[in-house]
Amino acid sequence: MSQDLKTSSVAIEGLNDSAFKVRLKRNLEIIQNVLENPTTVIGLIIVILMLLMALLAPIITEPNMPDPYQMPRDWKAARSAPLTPGHVLGTTNRGGDVYYGVVWGARTSLKLSLIVVCLTVVVGVTIGSIAGIVGGKVDEILMRVVDVFLSIPELIFALAIAAILGPSFTNIILALVVVFWVKYARIMRAQVIRIKQREYVDAARVMGDSKMQIYLKDILPNSFSPVMVQATLDMGNIVLVGATLSFIGLSEAGIAEWGVLVSEGQAGISAGRWWASTFPGLMVFLWALAFNLVGDGLRDVLDPRTETKR
């Protein structure tokens, strides 16, 4: 209710404003709505810090040449505790610098989650749209395939595929894509079916628009917001599952990745060398938490059905 009042008052106030001003006001309002929720703000701050860390990795650490994604090995300084000069967060028992792993691990995670999210969204949205628009038998077949995929637990499914493909980072990406696209197909299909019965789709047909035009202008943009929310949530989940897979040893050995680092450090935990596992583990936790908080916040703003508690 308060939302309605707000927008209508803007409409009346704005009558004498220029087009640019109206747009600016509208966008500011959306941002304001997002920022009104304190947990979203916390999530957003962590996300921004993580992204900064990932983007500035070559500046805040010295890249390990020739392949910066490989952990640098300093065998002489192995097993040093945090705050040792040169190794702020200590080293693993194989001489890997934990600080380097944490920073470049963010970059690896960003790479992993971005690639997987982009691919899954494209695949899922395409298949979901086809199912929703064509309907009938095509829909039935596609959705039964989706059901089969959904019936297997995420982690176990990803693990099985990654194990079949063999240990490498690319294979983890592939495995995650295979597991994660189904949700988008489901969401998109439901949205397309909902939107395609709207009167403005009929209105567009009446205006002589082709099916493709209607899809691109009316159906796709209006059904995209739940996909965006899910994508944000998945940015976190993918890193979580990805780290699990590398922890088990399904990614290349020795790369700067949080899951690999945790598994490298786990042997030392019983001997009191807690740092090698704790810091990367904490990063995974923070990453997943932050994206989930932001995703939830986005859902509150983008989905008109959820009541905003004020």
Partner 1 sequence: MSPDTAYTSDSLSENLIASVTDLKVYFQSKQGMVHSVDGVSFDIVDGEMMGLVGETGCGKSVTARSFMQLIQTPPGVLAGGKILFKSQKNCNKCNGSRCVACSKTGKNILDLLSLSESQIRELRGERIAMIFQDPGKALNPGLTIRTQLAEVFQEHRENDVFKKAGITNNLDGINGYLLKKYIRQELNLITKLMLKFPPFSGFRKKVDKAIDGLVTEALAETQIPNPNKIMERYPHELSGGMKQRVMIAQAIACNPDLLIADEPTTALDVTVQARVLDLIKDLQKRHQTSVLYISHDLSLVRRICDRVAVMYAGKIVETGDAEIIFNNPKHPYTQGLIKALPSMTHERGKLEAIEGMVPELINPKSGCRFASRCKQKKSNCENNDPELKVLSNKDKSHKVSCFLYE
Residues in contact with partner 1 by CB under 8 A are 7-8, 10-11, 15-16, 19, 22-23, 26, 198-200, 202-210, 213, 217-218, 221-222
Q: Tell me how far, at minimum, the Cβ of 201 lies from partner 1, in Å.
A: 9
If DSSP codes are grouped into helix, strand and coil, which group holds residue 295? helix
The residue behind tokens 């699990």 is 244
Roughly how many angstroms between the first and final C-alpha of the chain, as a whole number? 11
- Integer Cα distance of 293 and 103 in angstroms: 22
Q: What is the DSSP letter of 37?
A: S
Q: For residue 43, which phi and psi values (nearest 5 degrees)?
A: -60, -45
Strand partners, 73: 96
Handedness of CA 117, 120, 123, 127 (dihedral sign): negative
Would you say 26 or 144 has its CB closer to partner 1? 26
| Of 15 and 65, CB closest to partner 1 | 15
Residue 36 three-state SS: coil
Residue entry with tokens 């998945």: 234
At its nearest, how many Å lie between partner 1 and the CB of residue 238?
A: 28
Give the nearest distance from C-beta 11 to partner 1 in angstroms.
Answer: 4
Closest CB 208 distance from partner 1, rounded Å: 4
Query: Closer to partner 1 at the Cβ: 8 or 170?
Result: 8
- Name which of 227 and 241 has its Cβ closer to partner 1: 227
Q: Please, which residues have CB within 8 angstroms of residue 218's CB and are 6 or more apart in sequence?
A: 195, 198, 200, 201, 204
Query: Between 182 and 298, whose beta carbon lies closer to partner 1?
Result: 298
Cβ proximity to partner 1: between 10 and 123 the closer is 10
Task: Closer to partner 1 by CB, 122 or 152: give it.
Answer: 122
How far apart CA 121 and CA 213 sit, in angstroms, is 21
* Residue (17 or 67) nearer to partner 1, CB: 17
Q: Give least dist CB 120 to partner 1, A.
A: 23
| In the complex, minimum distance from the CB of residue 138 to partner 1, in angstroms, rounded to a whole number | 15
CA 134 remoteness from chain centre = 29
**C-alpha to C-alpha distances, 270 to 90, 93, 132, 145, 221, nearest whole angstrom:** 16, 13, 54, 45, 53
Task: List, as one string, the DSSP characters of 272-310.
Answer: T--HHHHHHHHHHHHHHHHHHHHHHHHHHHH-TTSPPP-
Nearer to partner 1, 170 or 213 (CB): 213
What is the nearest approach in angstroms of partner 1 to the Cβ of residue 162?
36
Q: How far is the CB of 16 from partner 1 (least distance, A)?
A: 8
Angle between helices 98-134 and 136-151 (to 10 degrees): 150
φ/ψ of 78, rounded to 5, equals -60, 150
- Report the nearest approach of partner 1 to the CB of residue 221 (Å): 5
